[in-house]
């Protein structure tokens, strides 16, 4: 057989820590069993991986730890079906398979010197977390960094253990919001697009990066347009059903583009070029 | 031409016997009313007088194959600790596809650009491809569903084959196309083709004449893109379709797959199996959202992929070899030729789109 890497063979990894983020989201921190591979493992913010639970299958998740922090690879998994349910049953010490990194990444080089506005909804905060921490670790390269993070209710908010730090940072302007008032909640109340309009981040020399449920994206885009953001200034990530993750199985295409290899990161200008099949 | 040999009809079984030494030889055989590719053994008479119902794509891309085995292994010292072992499958055995048609062999050229590209090499596919040879039968006569000549091929196309057989009186003329083919033609059962060559050329010319008129697919990538949002067009094109998927499974150029695990106790296998874009589940997302919710959306993707997206990605190469199986075997007679032609005809020509609102600029 011609020697070539097997695209479908996962690497084995050990879960070293888990965090129950919300009733439906669990975070997994894992290290590749092969120490050298773990040391050499290189990925870019926004890239994804396929996690395997052997016997059930694979599913796609963003690597939501930044490449600047390499003690472990972090994935936050929302329970949706079979693979995610079985992942949720795993704990420290358990083994999973990993195929990563896959896909493209946020064009962070092009964003240097610009103001950055992150707008995350629910589990959509996961990919933003990677890029945001990466930028904070390379703070001098970027202008003002603003985060608007919304969830349905306080318990649905992931990364709670980090929120005090994010809120306290001088070099990050964090706004948290929930859909409806809740007891003990001392931040904003209101839907993300409305809060964004009130915040009025300037479009000048700025990039907005948004990720969340389709309905949130839709209205967030309208709000950004109102604020004067041009299509090239808005970046988002797409979700599609995936299997191979390497552009072969034919599942995730939108016309000529494959979300697994040409995405998942697209600018709004690129999305408009795609045929209408989101 | 490197070499041309003659095989007497009477020696066919003996030659197959030789070829089957050390390799699996798949030949078209009767299976009820269908003709399918199955391993040859003593006594099997290949069906060579008509196109097989299925393509031989499973020779290189099996309908389902093991990607690897996995086993969970408990640590005897500490039963709470479980590790996982993965085991890759054995190398594929050498194989020969005998008596497929030029369109069948050519189908793999369409796979190659995706499964064996400089960017992405699928090791399972590449290993099988390297282990498989094709002795192809030039079509003596076309049927009314054939349109290989509309997609850059023809009834005696050698692209993708290792040797080409042409039926002549009393036997076959065999031409080597590749070094693999030259090896296969070294048998002492074969004699020099001599004056039979001229007859073979006549058979090939007759086959070309027997083809139905070629549909004109020029401009299909742009025309299908232009129809993308015209759901009325696609609803009409897919009105009869019952989403059975036969068209994709019989097609030599359809290459989509799914990956699934099968578990039994502490062990199992991860499988890859053919999948088909005509099914609702194919693109169903975990959120319940489906970007291709109706059969019209799905047929649009099947036709669009073959005649638009693939050619746009791969320098104009159409992802259809014109074998006509999807037309012949569709229970409700959906005809891909008609759909592409209709899309091309429905697309506004340059002048048309310039005229009505042309004053704008
Ligand atoms: C690029 C990308 C990045 C992603 N990042 C993340 C991330 O960071 N975190 C995260 O949590 N998720 C992420 N996802 C989503 C995640 O991949 C899916 O939630 C996951 O694949 C679901 O897998 P599952 O096996 O649990 O679901 P499945 O068991 O495959 O399906 C679950 C759901 O799918 C539907 N479904 C499937 N089959 C059928 C059927 N036959 N009939 C009817 N309905 C059906 C149903 O709605 C069902 O509840 C990402 C997806 C992509 C593409
Ligand atoms: S064979 Fe015909 S009916 Fe079946 S899915 Fe294909 S087009 Fe539809
Ligand atoms: S689309 Fe139809 S005609 Fe074309 S290769 Fe597939 S089965 Fe043959
Ligand atoms: S997931 Fe297989 S082609 Fe994209």
pLDDT tens digits along B288-310 = 899 999 999 999 999 999 999 99
- CA–centroid distance, A240 to ligand 4, in Å, is 9
Choose, out of A15, A61, A249, the residue to mutate when testing the contact with B (most B CBs < 10 Å): A249
Nearest to A100 by CA among A50, A35, A58: A50
In the prediction, which pLDDT does B354 show?
52
**Whole-angstrom Cα distance, residue A20 to residue A68?**
24
How much is the pLDDT for B356? 46
pLDDT exceeds cutoff 50 at A67:
yes
- Check: CB of residue B100 under 8 Å from CB of residue B163: no
Question: How far away is chain B from the Cα of A85, in angstroms, using its nearest Cα?
Answer: 12
Q: What pLDDT is attached to residue A4?
A: 85
Q: Write phi, then psi, for B112 (nearest 5 degrees).
A: -50, -45
pLDDT in the model for residue A1: 45
CB contact under 8 A, B84 and A97: yes
| pLDDT 10s digits, A21-53 | 999 999 999 999 999 999 999 999 999 999 999
Listed in order, strand segments (DSSP E) in B139-282 are 163-168, 171-176, 191-192, 257-264, 267-274
**Which ligand 2 atom is nearest residue B246's CA?**
1
Predicted local distance difference test score (pLDDT) of residue B2 = 55
Q: Are A28 and A18 in contact (CB under 8 A)?
A: yes
A261 pLDDT band, cuts 50/70/90, is: very high
CA pair distance B199, B162, nearest whole angstrom = 21
Say what the pTM is: 0.92
- Residues of chain A numbered 188-247 and touching chain B (CB < 8 Å): 213-214, 239-241, 243-244, 246-247
Q: What is the pLDDT of residues A193-247, one digit of tens each?
A: 999 999 999 999 999 999 998 889 999 999 999 999 999 999 999 989 999 999 9
Please enumerate in sequence order all residues whose Cβ is within 8 A of that of A136, keeping only pairs 6 or more positions apart, or say none. Answer: A145, A169, A171, A172
pLDDT of res. A278 = 85
A174–chain B nearest CA distance, Å: 28
Pocket test for ligand 4, best of A48, A102, A241, A250 (most atoms within 8 A of CB): A250
| Beta-carbon count within 10 A of B290 CB | 16
Q: Give the pLDDT score at B151.
A: 92
DSSP letter string, B90-154: PPPPPEEEEEE-HHHHHHHHHHHHHHB-SS-B-HHHHHHHHHEEEEEEPPSS--TT--GGGTT--
**Which of A8, A55, A276 is facing B263, going by the closest CB pair?**
A55
Residues B259, A81: C-beta atoms closer than 8 Å: no
Pocket-forming residues, ligand 2, beta carbon under 6 Å: B 241-247, 278, 330-332, 334
pLDDT of residue B358: 37
Residue pLDDT tens, chain B, 361 long: 457 999 999 999 999 999 999 999 999 999 999 999 999 999 999 999 999 999 999 999 999 999 999 999 998 888 888 999 999 999 999 999 999 999 999 999 999 999 999 999 999 999 999 999 999 999 988 889 999 999 999 899 999 999 999 999 999 999 999 999 999 999 999 999 888 999 999 999 999 998 988 999 999 999 999 999 999 999 999 999 999 999 999 999 999 999 999 999 999 999 999 999 999 999 999 888 999 999 999 999 999 999 999 999 999 999 999 999 999 999 999 999 999 999 999 855 555 555 444 333 3
Helix (H, G, I), strand (E, B) or coil at A44: coil
Quickly list H helices, A81-229: 82-88, 125-137, 163-168, 192-199, 214-226
Chain segment B236-257, per-residue pLDDT in tens:
999 999 999 999 999 999 999 9
Question: B7 to chain A, minimum CA–CA distance in Å?
Answer: 33
Confidence (pLDDT) at B317 = 96
User: What is the C-alpha end-to-end distance of chain B, expressed in Å?
Assistant: 57
pLDDT of B195: 86
Q: Return the residue whose CA atom lies nearest to atom 3 of ligand 2.
A: B241
**Chain B residues close to A243, C-beta within 8 Å:** 257-259, 275
Q: Is the Cβ atom of B96 under 6 angstroms away from ligand 3?
A: no
């Amino acid at each position: 057989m011609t020697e070539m890497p097997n695209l479908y063979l996962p690497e084995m990894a050990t879960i070293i820590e888990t965090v129950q983020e919300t009733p439906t989201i669990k975070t997994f921190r894992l290290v590749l069993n092969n120490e050298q591979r773990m040391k050499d493992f290189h990925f870019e913010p926004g890239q994804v991986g396929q996690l395997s639970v052997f016997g059930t299958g694979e599913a796609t998740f963003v690597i939501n730890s930044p490449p600047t922090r390499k003690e472990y690879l972090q994935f936050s998994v929302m329970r949706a079906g079979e693979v995610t349910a079985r992942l949720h049953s795993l704990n420290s010490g358990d083994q999973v398979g990993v195929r990563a990194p896959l896909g493209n990444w946020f064009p962070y080089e092009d964003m240097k010197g610009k103001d950055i506005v992150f707008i995350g909804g629910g589990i959509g905060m996961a990919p933003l977390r990677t890029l945001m921490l990466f930028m904070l670790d390379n703070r001098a390269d970027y202008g003002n960094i603003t985060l608007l993070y919304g969830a349905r209710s306080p318990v649905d908010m992931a990364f709670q253990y980090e929120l005090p730090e994010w809120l306290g940072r001088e070099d990050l302007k964090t706004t948290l919001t929930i859909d409806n008032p809740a007891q003990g909640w001392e931040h904003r109340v209101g839907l993300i697009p409305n809060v964004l309009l009130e915040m009025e981040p300037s479009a000048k020399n700025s990039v907005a990066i948004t990720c969340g449920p389709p309905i949130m994206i839709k209205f967030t885009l309208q709000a950004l347009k109102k604020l004067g953001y041009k299509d090239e200034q808005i970046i988002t990530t797409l979700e599609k059903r995936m299997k191979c993750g390497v552009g072969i199985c034919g599942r995730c295409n939108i016309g000529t583009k494959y979300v697994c290899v040409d995405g998942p990161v697209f600018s709004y200008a690129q999305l408009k070029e795609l045929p209408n099949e989101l | 031409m490197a070499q041309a040999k003659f095989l007497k009809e009477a020696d066919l079984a003996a030659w197959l016997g030789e070829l089957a030494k050390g390799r699996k030889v798949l030949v078209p055989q009767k299976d009820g009313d269908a003709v399918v590719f199955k391993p040859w053994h003593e006594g099997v008479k290949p069906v060579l007088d008509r196109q097989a119902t299925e393509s031989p794509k499973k020779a290189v891309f099996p309908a389902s194959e093991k990607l690897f085995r996995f086993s969970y292994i408990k640590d005897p010292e500490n039963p709470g600790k479980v590790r996982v072992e993965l085991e890759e499958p054995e190398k594929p055995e050498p194989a020969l596809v005998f008596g497929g048609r030029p369109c069948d062999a050519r189908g793999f050229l369409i796979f190659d650009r995706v499964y064996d590209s400089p960017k992405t090499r699928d090791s399972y596919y590449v290993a099988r491809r390297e282990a498989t040879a094709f002795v192809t039968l030039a079509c003596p006569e076309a049927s009314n569903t054939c349109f290989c000549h509309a997609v850059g091929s023809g009834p005696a196309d050698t692209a993708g084959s290792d040797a080409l057989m042409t039926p002549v009186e009393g036997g076959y003329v065999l031409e080597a196309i590749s070094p693999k083919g030259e090896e296969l033609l070294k048998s002492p059962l074969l004699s020099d083709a001599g004056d039979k060559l001229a007859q073979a050329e006549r058979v090939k010319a007759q086959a070309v004449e027997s083809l139905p008129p070629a549909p004109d697919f020029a401009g299909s990538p742009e025309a299908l893109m232009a129809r993308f949002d015209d759901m009325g067009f696609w609803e009409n094109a897919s009105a009869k379709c019952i989403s059975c998927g036969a068209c994709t499974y019989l097609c030599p150029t359809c290459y989509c797959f799914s990956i699934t695990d099968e578990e039994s106790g502490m062990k199992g296998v991860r499988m890859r199996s053919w999948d088909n874009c005509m099914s609702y589940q194919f693109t169903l997302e975990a959120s319940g959202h489906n970007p291709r919710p109706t059969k019209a959306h799905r047929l649009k993707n099947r036709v669009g992929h073959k005649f638009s997206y693939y050619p746009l990605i791969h320098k104009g190469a159409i992802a259809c070899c014109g074998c006509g199986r999807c037309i012949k075997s569709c229970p409700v007679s959906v005809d891909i030729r008609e759909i592409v032609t209709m899309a091309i005809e429905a697309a506004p020509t340059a002048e048309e789109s310039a005229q009505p609102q042309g004053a704008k600029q």
